[in-house]
Each structure stands twice: as C-alpha cells, then as structure tokens.
Structure 1
Amino acid sequence: MAERTFGQIPGYPEGTTFDSRAELSEAGVHRPLMAGISGNARDGADSIVLSGGYEDDKDLGDEIVYTGHGGRDPRTGVQVSDQALRGGNLALAKSSLEGLPVRVIRGSRHASPYSPESGYRYDGLYTVDDYWHDVGRSGFLIWRFRLLKVPTVPSAAERVGEGRADYSAAPRRETTVLRVVRDTRQAREIKALYDYRCQVCGTRLEGPAGPYAEAAHIRPLGAPHDGPDTPDNTLCLCPNHHALFDHGGLVIEEDLTMTGAEGRLTVHPRHRISNEHLRYRREHYRAPEEEPRPAARTTT
C-alpha cells in the first residue's frame, strides 16, 4: 500500500479537477475507490470526498459539517442504524486530536453551491476542528465532524518578493493549530474569579507575563451547537483538562462529579453553571454505548 500523505499532493494544486474516482485514486489525492473517508484509526484521515451521500451534511464553503460513515442501507442510501466511532469516523477523530490536515474533494453529485458541475474537484486542506455525536434526521445516532478551511499559501511561483539571497533559509514544515482558544471579556472575568486556577485540578500556571488559564465553553459557540458566550457556559481550565474536555475525555456529571478526573468540579459561589449546557455536553460528547438500537421499521 502506498504511504499515506497528509497535506498537498505535489502536482495537484487546489482547484484541480478529475473525471472519476479512479483518477483521484491514481493521483493519490483520494485513494479509496468507494469509501468517502481515506484513513485509519492509527494514522488519521488524509482525505474525504463529498458526493451527496448523507442527508445530514452541511456545506458552507470554508466550513463543513460532515457526517461520518456507516448505518446506511447500501441499496437505498437511507440511514437505518446508528453509526459507531470506528473505521473512518475514528480516523477523522484522530486527525482532530493530532491537528492533521485533511484534503477535501467535492463531487458533482454533492448538493451544494460549492460543488463542481461535473466530475470531482480538489478544494484544498481543512482541519477537523471538532467532532461529536447527534441524532440525525432519520432518528439514528450519527457522528459529525466540523472541518474548517486552511488558508491557501501561494506557491513559490505566485509569490512576489526580492531575489534569492546568498544565505540559505531554515527548513520549514507546514503545521496546523489544533484548537482556537477564545479569550473574550466574559472569559477573562471567569478566569479572574478563579484566580486562574483550573476548576478540575486546581493548577495555577505562572509565566513571566503573569498567570495563564483557558476558558472552555461547555456548549460550543457557533452553529450547529449555538452555545452562548456567557458565564454560565464557561469554565476556567488548565490546558490539559481543556483538551480532555474538548475531546470527551472529561465529562461533568449532574452532581458535578467527573468522569475522567477525581473529585467534583470546583465552583465559585458567584459562578452559576447551567445544568442545561452541561447536559448538552454529556449528550453530544460522551462516548455512547456501542449497543446498536433496532433498525427503524419500514412500510411498503
């Protein structure tokens, strides 16, 4: 099997079109001839194809809410059972954890104004910003992945600048940022309330410029979660527990005890935390039990 490549494929810049899945595979832009996700749980996902497969997909151009694979009737394409966090779904989750770029290819059958009129088009690199489970339109559990476009870097031929210098430049490598830490006025107030101590472990990080902590939103901001930037939706956490919280490794129960950490969440008397937001986080980010629910009945 060819070595898995993350990032751009030399010779195939963003905007390159292909007539078929076979051409995509031959070029190495998306290797599988059938599967929409290329990758595995060990390495991560290197590419996906949007080709009109899942009813819960949302394509906003630079932001995509992508439905994971599994649970569909192969004859009708209808969702008939729950999806599990394994195979390609687990590969995309791995890419989120590692900050790996994912090549996105759109097909003409994908119902989106951003799709090509025919064939397939490579539309650049995206990062897997978040992943969670939800109940889809057909009533079954699905895994959803929010992908955000990585800004395009001009090629050497497209750049305008001075001529080549006599010195050699240090080698560079492309990297991606795993998380965006938002620091709003509300967030700063919560961190100050806790004296920059993590509500989970009590750690206070001190640097030359002062203390450091991160504000974690319980119900994520923006669509499709639509969480508010308010104190009752904000926690003060250290970077380690923030990362665990974001990826489902830390769950806060109704009585403020925690799964993934010992003890109870520390809550300041002047800080009211919304039980509704905590419940939303548990329902969408706690790993669901793998026991499949019965398939929906169909009538003829």
Structure 2
Amino acid sequence: MNAVGIHRSSQWGISGGKDGSDSIVVNGGYPDDHDAGDEIIYTGQGGRAHNRHVADQELVLGNAGLKRAYEERQPIRVIRGSKGDKRFSPAAGYRYEGLFGITEMWPEVREQDGLRIWRFRLVKLGTEASAAPTSDPDEAEDDNVSWTGGHRTSLVKVRRGQRAFRTGLLEKYGLNCAVTGPAPKQVLQAAHLRAFADHGTHKRSEGLLLRSDIHSLFDAGLLAVDTADNTVVVAPSLRTHTTYGPLAGTALLVPAGLMPDRAALDDHHQAARARWALEE
C-alpha cells in the first residue's frame, strides 16, 4: 500500500499529521476498535507501550490529522489488514476498502485503566449511514453535506434541539465547566442528567455544562454528583488517576440558585453507584 501511494506511512496506522490525514489501516491493533463493515469506530494512536495503554492519547500526529480531516470533511482511504475482524478482512496481506468519511470524533475514558483515548467514527461514503460531521457535536443539526472528493450524504437526524439546549446552558452558566471551572466555549458540552435517548427531551433544569472529557466520564457513569453536599463523586476505578482522582469530594462549581434538578442528579448518582457495585 505504501509503495503504490495509497498509504504514505510505512509503519503507522494513520497516514498524515497536523496538516491532515488521508488514510488509515484497520488491522486489529487496538482492542477498542469496532468494525461493522461500512462503519468503523477507530481508536487514535499513542499512549501505548508493549501492546498496552500506559498514558492518555493526545491530539497530535495522526490524531491531529484525523481531526483536521473531520473538520474539513476530507475523505479518508481505509485499508484493512488480515489481523482485523475476520468478517471484513482479507485472508492475508492488506486490501484497499475505498473512501470513508469521519462523521464523529470524541475523547473516551477506558474503564479498564482510566486512560483517555480518541475515537473516530468512519462511514463508507455513499452508504445510507453516512452522516454529517461537525466541529462541535453539541451544535449538530439536520443537514445535507457534501464530502470533498466523495459522495453526497443522505439526510441525517442528529438530536434535534441540541444546539438550543447547549446555548441555553451557556447563557445559564457562562464559560464554566460545572466540575473543573472556566473553559473555552469550544470544549464545553451540554450534558443530560437523564439520557436523551430514553426521554427525548431537552430540559435546561436537567442539564449541566461540562468540559468534553468530563462529559464523557459523566455519561459513562464514572463521575456523579452527591446532592447531600453538592460534591463530585468519582468511580473507584478512577480514584487513583492523577487527573480525575483529585476531583473526588470537590464542590460542584454551580451557584446555589442555578443548581439543576436534584432528583435528576440523584437518579444519575444512584445509577452510577449501582454500576460500580457490579464491578467490585
């Protein structure tokens, strides 16, 4: 693949850097990857030594390139190797699979070790699942989007009303993460205290403004709020983590008069604790 110019890197799974990436190799190198044929959840590079995660992944090198491709709607060439999912991989060697578009990217904290990885959702261009990317997932709206050099996507529905929900929380709380304090607008996201997928509603009284990585922890049930004293509670698996462990017991940075719905916070806290009990 390198010799014929499909993948510029001769070793790395991501070809490119801060100026953009143009191809990736899916070859079973990361256990967090998920291959469903026309849709791939791809794990970024870095943070590993001796085939295991030892540090947080950063948005540098190939990860920065994929971020640039995502923001600028540049298609990515996908290559599958024989060590990937056997349902979609060649029996030997490598095979070029065509052009995919990056439709989502997000940081995710691994439950096994509390380390952050970057995740990229790629969908084969021209398929019904193709979705519109956005530089801010909280601001996505229904849209028809053309990929540079690719095919036109189908109409996509993305949590109608999410933009207004986030705008409302920004008006309510300002540029302030409820857990870590002041933060740029670009990294602040609107978190639902009750899963939107279950209730289908956006209630400002049931929302918190959180930094993107804190939002991921909150949604995963690894971080919650104890309304007895409005302090942050951290899952046992993260209590020794150098970044997130110290958050345990800190006060929620929300004025008393602007606190979200107590019952919703309690429901989230109880659900999180039930999950921790199963893991112990």
Q: What range is the shorter-chain TM-score in?
A: 0.5 to 0.7
Query: Which structure: larger Rg?
Result: 1
Other-structure match for 1:162:
none
Deviations 1:203-244 (A, max 9, x none): xxxxxxxxxxxx336xxxxxxxxxxxxxxxx6276xxxxxxx
- Do 1:251 and 1:282's aligned partners in 2 also have CA atoms closer than 8 Å? no
**Is residue 2:22 matched to residue 1:53?**
no
**Counterparts in 2 of 1:135-174, with a 5 A limit?**
135-136=109-110, 138-139=112-113, 140-151=115-126, 174=149
- Do 1:132 and 1:145's aligned partners in 2 also have CA atoms closer than 8 Å? yes
Other-structure match for 2:177:
253
- Do 1:127 and 1:176's aligned partners in 2 also have CA atoms closer than 8 Å? no
| 1:133 Cα offset (Å) | 1.0
| 1:178 Cα offset (Å) | 9.4
- Do 2:22 and 2:75's aligned partners in 1 also have CA atoms closer than 8 Å? yes
- In 1: Cα distance, 2:59 partner to 2:94 partner: 27
**Counterparts in 2 of 1:7-156, with a 5 A limit?**
24-42=1-19, 44-73=20-49, 76-136=50-110, 138-139=112-113, 140-151=115-126
| 1:84 Cα offset (Å) | 0.9
- In 1: Cα distance, 2:28 partner to 2:82 partner: 8
Percent identity between the aligned chains?
37
- In 2: Cα distance, 1:135 partner to 1:180 partner: 31
- Do 1:59 and 1:112's aligned partners in 2 also have CA atoms closer than 8 Å? no
Secondary structure at the aligned position of 1:26 is classed as: coil
For 2:99, the aligned partner's letter is L
Unaligned runs of 5+ in 1: 1-23, 153-172, 188-214, 218-233, 238-249, 287-291, 295-300
- In 1: Cα distance, 2:14 partner to 2:153 partner: 20
- Do 1:100 and 1:176's aligned partners in 2 also have CA atoms closer than 8 Å? no
Unaligned runs of 5+ in 2: 128-147, 168-173, 190-201, 218-240, 244-280
Secondary structure at the aligned position of 1:148 is classed as: strand
Q: 1:259 to 1:280 in 2, by over 3 A?
A: closer
Other-structure match for 1:9:
none
For 1:37, the aligned partner's letter is I
- In 2: Cα distance, 1:68 partner to 1:85 partner: 9
- In 2: Cα distance, 1:146 partner to 1:124 partner: 15
Q: 1:136 to 1:177 in 2, by over 3 A?
A: farther
- Do 1:30 and 1:47's aligned partners in 2 also have CA atoms closer than 8 Å? yes
**Is residue 2:157 matched to residue 1:182?**
yes
* Structure ranking higher on relative contact order (CA contacts 8 Å, 6+ apart): 1
For 1:106, the aligned partner's letter is R
For 2:26, the aligned partner's letter is L
Structure that is richer in helix per residue: 2
The two structures have a TM-score, normalised by structure 2, of: 0.54
Deviations 1:99-142 (A, max 9, x none): 00000000001134211111111111111111111122541211
Deviations 1:85-107 (A, max 9, x none): 10000100000000000000000
The two structures have a TM-score, normalised by structure 1, of: 0.51
Secondary structure at the aligned position of 1:111 is classed as: coil
**Counterparts in 2 of 1:188-199, with a 5 A limit?**
none
- In 2: Cα distance, 1:112 partner to 1:136 partner: 24
- In 1: Cα distance, 2:71 partner to 2:216 partner: 14
For 1:274, the aligned partner's letter is E
**Is residue 2:235 matched to residue 1:235?**
no
Q: 1:54 to 1:180 in 2, by over 3 A?
A: farther
Match of 1:216 among 155, 159, 162: 162
Match of 1:274 among 185, 199, 206: 206
Q: 1:93 to 1:112 in 2, by over 3 A?
A: farther
Secondary structure at the aligned position of 2:214 is classed as: helix
| 1:285 Cα offset (Å) | 7.1
| 1:279 Cα offset (Å) | 4.2
For 2:35, the aligned partner's letter is D
- In 1: Cα distance, 2:112 partner to 2:101 partner: 27
